[in-house]
Amino acid sequence: MLTRARLALRSPDGARRAADYALAVVLFRLSPDTRRAIFAGDDHECSLCGARLSRFLQLHRPCFRWCPVCRSLQRHRFSWLLLQRQLFSTRLPGDVLHFAPEESLANAFRRLPHIRYATTDLYAPGVTLRADIVRLPHRDAVFDLIYCSHVLEHIPDDRAAMRELRRVLRVGGIAVILTPLWTRPTFEDPGVTDPFERERLFGQHDHVRWYGLDIVERLSGAGFSVCTVRAGDIANAAEIERYGLDAGEIAFLCSAH
């Protein structure tokens, strides 16, 4: 947190980011019901928590739009719509593994009936199992759905992680994978370890690469069949606006055959 604060203050929009942090600290100390009342409206809706809102919050970075009630970001609301519309509408998964669980999504998963839901992270407290994504302790082929968002860009040996995801997925299962993406080919440099340099080169102090769309080749190399889905593919323009999504946000649906 200290590193994040120092990086924010050193960035070109440091004053704005510092002010956003201060507002978030105050706002998110209020109860969810209070926040729901403050931001109540009809123009927008959170696809995760169902809150009807006057607006989403732009905090931390101008491109981030938070749900003031459940704190979801665009990618979380997109992911949940994607799961609902492309997976859950035909079949609910039995065994689900959620990496680095985001609270808003974890709460939504837990509301699903009849699933066996597990969370994992190398460091975060409160997960079902602390585990390293490149050496998972699970047996082969034990999950129907894996959700792994904004994790692989932190992992030096991401190909090993992808192979582990494939190994623990059942045939017929799906791994939903999201990462930060840029428009160029994947760029990484294992020699860069300084957090300030990582922020400059990779966009965040603890990222080890930028992925391009060629991530599909790495995922395929791990044994997945990969389908690239944009938010604009599953939601129309009115829904993009209502749910506070980015039409170009991408998720990779990785199937095990």
- Unique residue bearing structure tokens 């340099």: 197
Scanning residues 65 to 104, which ones bind Zn ion (CB under 5 A)?
A: 67, 69-70, 72
Q: To the nearest whole angstrom, how small is the minimum distance from the Cβ of residue 70 to Zn ion? A: 3
Token representation of residue 106: 């974890």
* CA 174/CA 146 separation, integer angstroms: 6
CA distances from 9 to 2, 20, 61, 113 (A): 11, 11, 13, 44
Q: To the nearest whole angstrom, how small is the minimum distance from the Cβ of residue 235 to Zn ion? A: 16
Q: To the nearest whole angstrom, how small is the minimum distance from the Cβ of residue 53 to Zn ion? A: 8
Of 36 and 198, CB closest to Zn ion: 36
Q: To the nearest whole angstrom, how small is the minimum distance from the Cβ of residue 104 to Zn ion? A: 6
Of 47 and 179, CB closest to Zn ion: 47
Of 222 and 245, CB closest to Zn ion: 245
Of 51 and 82, CB closest to Zn ion: 51
Of 105 and 176, CB closest to Zn ion: 105
* CA 91/CA 87 separation, integer angstroms: 6
Of 46 and 133, CB closest to Zn ion: 46
Binding mask 36-65 for Zn ion (x = CB under 5 A): ----------x-xx-x--------------
Q: To the nearest whole angstrom, how small is the minimum distance from the Cβ of residue 50 to Zn ion? A: 7
Scanning residues 4 to 43, which ones bind Zn ion (CB under 5 A)?
A: none
Scanning residues 217 to 256, which ones bind Zn ion (CB under 5 A)?
A: none
The sign of the torsion formed by the CA atoms of 47, 101, 25, 31 equals: positive
Scanning residues 107 to 136, which ones bind Zn ion (CB under 5 A)?
A: none
Q: Which residues contribute to the site for Zn ion (CB under 5 A)?
A: 46, 48-49, 51, 67, 69-70, 72
